[in-house]
Structure 1
Amino acid sequence: MTEVRTLLDGRGLVESPRWHGDRLYFSDWSAGEVVAVDPATGAAEVVARVTSLPLCTAWLPDGRLVIVSSADGLLLRREPDGTLVTHADLGPAAWNDIVADGRGNVYVNAVGFDPMSGEVAGPGAVWLVADGTVRQVADDIAFPNGMAVTSDNSTLIVADSYGHSLVAFDIGADGTLANRRLWADLGEAAAPDGICVDAEGAVWYADVPNRHCVRVAEGGEILRTVDLDRGAFACALGGADGTTLFITAAEWRGMTDAEMVTPASGQVLATEVDVPGAGRP
């Protein structure tokens, strides 16, 4: 059996794990905090406070952190002194997940409905933030969730939670997306959330209702599954050799519940895998 160890416990709705430097960063949506944790000691530090739900992050190539403040319609940037400044004005939308490629292009997606009321405005979309502009580069994604960029910066992969699939796009030199294709059909029971890519080109995806993380090859072959006792919201590869799979998990109550997760059920977990991470996040 796969050994899964607990790095942190007692959190809220935890999401957006990102390995950077020698620490794991994650967001606690319930607390409005971006937290860094040392996996060797468990020591945790709040590096940013943003009242937003969702609250997702990405690292720019220059080492600065960008944070989606969905409630304000802003993409914030954390400066070296810890201050938060506006990186881009996204405008009003149900902004969700984010990833940056190695060129500094930032992709932010938005769902086409209000998760609390269930009111549907249309399918979700992906937007590009580059050179001071914000523009839509993909649409017609039922529920865009986690995103990842391959190590050669050539491909963006998007988890479509309601489409039960992973979709891929070629990334152009100017950051635009083309050649949309089905990367993997995961089956009607799957609900992919946060994702990451490994050095063999496989994708790990977290799945809340099915309480597991799954490694899948392009085309849909399941390569490995890590089962949990609660919903898996996102996963990221990191650690000293890149072979630690970090997972954010909590007991899911549903979007219509005011808390969405059972209070204090949020955990940051870790397990060892065979293939190191590659690409972003």
Structure 2
Amino acid sequence: MADGFCFGEGPRWFEGLLWFSDMLGEAVHTVTLRGALTTLPLPGHAPAGLGFRPDGSLLIVSTERREVLRYDGESVVPLVDLSGLVPADLGDMVVDPQGRAYIGSQAFSGGVIVRVDPDGSAEVVAEDLDFPNGMVITPGGDTLIVAESTGRRLTAFSIAADGSLSERRVFAEGLDGPPDGICLDQQGAVWAAMTLANAFERIEPGGTVTDRIEFDDRVAIACTLGGPNRRTLFMLTATSAYPQRLVGARLARLDATVVDVPGAGLP
């Protein structure tokens, strides 16, 4: 669908467009189903996770600055600085129906998830994670699933009415590769970008892989379900799993395919 950008992350389907971050390109892009690309420049920021609040405003994770930005359709402004709360740079994010944002701090061990509430307050809601990465929230808003990349597992938490996380449990472990970006379908399975396996896999609770899309020499980075009836799987790939090796390159790509089971939950 699109190429010529640096390193795509955090794809989200919203109001008929596929939105994604270009982490090395310091921008957020949108793509139509016909492949038309637009760009929101973010000079000085390395964006990653994206999420939309109920009012339609876009939240953007600035990884190295460890802050969250807000875009209202006209201007980008800082929302909250998380540098005093987190042990490492920020990564992916999911926003719940109440507008609360859950953001991972990607320490290889001792990673955390921070919740940012609509009023801008923030607190750590999960600890001791192995590089928390992609996240989804199930329909009804009662469960959060996070990809622990270096742990090669998907981990689930129950979400309480106040937004706190509890009842930590394994959704799937012993995965084929480190999971990066993820999305959820209506049968409760997770599509995951398996970075070092160069593939996107559909994983059922317990770990059974039902579908696999291989990319040979391209690294799977992130995915989301959107498009008509949420049956289009959008897949971001790169030529390396390590962004620092790709500075100055424009070899990232966005592909899409239609799948059998529609998307569900958030994002």
What TM-score results when the alignment is normalised by the length of structure 2?
A: 0.93
Give the counterpart letter for 2:19 in structure 1: Y
Aligned: 1:139 with 2:133 = no
Name the residue aligned to 1:36.
30
Partner of 2:105: 110
Cα drift, residue 111 of structure 1: 1.6
Query: 1:60 maps to what in 2?
Result: 53
The alignment-based identity, stated in percent, is: 39
Matched position secondary structure for 1:99: strand
- AA paired with 2:61? V
* 1:10, distance to aligned residue in structure 2 (A): 2.0
Q: Is the 8 A contact 2:11 2:224 kept in 1?
A: yes
- Determine which of 199, 202, 206 is the counterpart of 2:193: 206
Which residue of 85, 90, 96 maps to 1:101? 96
Q: Contact conserved, 2:26 with 2:47, CA < 8 A, in 1?
A: no
Residue segments in structure 1 that go unaligned for 5+ positions in a row: 1-6, 114-121
Unaligned stretches of 5+ residues in structure 2: none
Q: Post-superposition shift, 1:95? A: 1.0
Whether 2:163 is the aligned partner of 1:175: answer yes
Partner of 1:274: 260
1:252 aligned residue (233, 237, 240): 240
Question: In structure 2, what residue type is equivalent to 1:239?
Answer: G
Residues 60, 66 of structure 1: 8 Å contact kept: yes
Query: Do the aligned residues in 2 keep the contact of 1:27 with 1:34 (CA within 8 Å)?
Result: yes
1:47 positional shift? 2.8
- Identify the range of structure 1 (26-35 vs 104-113) with the bigger mean alpha-carbon deviation: 104-113
| Equivalent position to 2:78, from 81, 86, 89 | 86
1:194 equivalent to 2:181? Answer: yes
Look up the equivalent residue of 2:208 and give its one-letter code: E
Give deviations 1:210-260, integer Å, cap 9, x for gaps. Answer: 1110001111111111111300100000001110000010101636xx434
In structure 1, the residue corresponding to 2:245 is in which secondary structure? Answer: coil
After superposition, the C-alpha distances for 1:64-116 in whole angstroms (9 at most, x for unaligned) are 10001123232111013x20122222125411111101111110110225xxx
Aligned pair partner of 1:148 in 121, 136, 140: 136
Alpha carbons of structure 1 residues 9 and 139: separation in structure 2 relative to 1, 3 Å: same
Matched, 1:27 2:21: yes
* Aligned-residue offset at 1:27: 1.0
- Does 2:221 correspond to 1:233? yes
Quick one: distance in 1 between partners of 2:212 and 2:196? Answer: 14
Distance 2:11 2:21 in 1: 7
The alignment of Structure 1 onto Structure 2 pairs a total of residues equal to 262
Q: Give secondary structure in 2 for the equivalent of 1:241.
A: helix
The one-letter code matched in structure 2 to 1:99 is V
Normalization by structure 1: what TM-score? 0.89
On the 8 A contact 1:250/1:261 being kept in 2, the answer is no
What is the alpha-carbon distance in structure 2 between the residues aligned to residue 273 and residue 52 of structure 1? Answer: 34
Q: Which residue of 2 aligns with 1:45?
A: 38
Conservation of the 8 A alpha-carbon contact between 1:33 and 1:47:
yes
Where does residue 119 of structure 1 map in the other structure?
none
Deviation at 1:184, TM superposition (A): 0.7
